Amino acid sequence: MSVPQPEDGTPILELRGVDKSFGANQVLHGVDLKVYPGKVTALVGDNGAGKSTLIKSIAGIHPIDGGQVLFDGNPVDISGPRDSARLGIEVVYQDLALADNLDVVQNMFLGRERKNGLLLDEISMEQAARDTLAKLSVRTLKSVRQLVSSLSGGQRQTVAIAKAVLWESKVVILDEPTAALGVAQTRQVLDLVRRLADTGHAVVFISHNMVDVFEVADRVAALYLGRMAADIPISQVNRSQVIELITAGRSGDIGIAPAQAAAVEV
């Protein structure tokens, strides 16, 4: 597994001191995060740590209240989902948002259909879908014209990820992609996540499963009660340390300063 070092250069996506509140409830507190092209960053944290809010802020669903977002080294304003998509950020949410009554091609182009005059350009869309799946070395689908209702959980994840890649994305955020999958299907999805990074994409991999995290991630970013406890190469921590970062915000000399962690817990 490759380990990001300073020579990796500029992060494709960087958050600096990001705050987000809902009314009187501050959910994110000065969050810093760096996401590099060609790397998988595992975003971990307990329920209520702020993972969903952070991802939705990156996606433009929840505009941030403070701090700064940089894309490819340049400050950007993400005030809505279109801004995020225009930059090349795609999110694959846990519910996948696939239409069971449509086939693979139709799902991959849903809402962004290509037309040839007044008619849909089915040939062009089918070829683009095939090319995208081939680029990701996907061999688990019998046909791009299969109805999504006939696919397994792992195959559905594959279609959702391929859909995100199709739109020339640079950052792909995956929300619990292996949740509720069996062993074989989890293996397929983890292999696909790795290939996604190997094709140059920056991948944010949200997971509660430490086995999956250490299997596929290059970096780990641990959120603790809305604060970033650590954002470091995964080679610098072990599984027990990551669990401590998730549950206590600190492990040894890594994480939130003791005084700050105590204040957060109060």
- Condensed to tens digits (0 to 9), the pLDDT of residues 16-70 reads 999 999 999 999 999 999 999 999 999 999 999 999 999 999 999 999 999 999 9
Domain residues for 131? Answer: 97-169
Last residue of a domain, one of 169, 190, 205: 169
Last residue of a domain, one of 169, 190, 220: 169
Residue 52, domain CATH: 3.40.50.300
* For helices 153-166 and 122-135, angle between their N-to-C axes, nearest 10 degrees: 110
pLDDT tens digit sequence for 85-140: 999 999 998 888 899 999 999 999 998 999 988 899 999 999 999 999 999 989 88
Sequence-ordered list of residues with C-beta below 8 angstroms from that of 69, at least 6 positions apart, any chain: 13, 14, 15, 16, 18, 58, 75, 76, 77, 78
Supply the pTM of this predicted model.
0.89
Give the C-alpha distances (Å, rounded to integers) separating 43 from 55, 91, 122, 203, 219.
10, 13, 37, 10, 9
What's the total number of domains in the chain? 2
Same domain membership, residue 153 and residue 106? yes
Same domain membership, residue 221 and residue 161? no
Model confidence at 6: pLDDT above 90: no
Which pLDDT score, from 0 to 100, does residue 260 have? Answer: 63
Q: Has residue 1 been placed in a domain?
A: no
Q: Has residue 203 been placed in a domain?
A: yes
Last residue of a domain, one of 142, 169, 196: 169
Model confidence at 1: pLDDT above 70: no
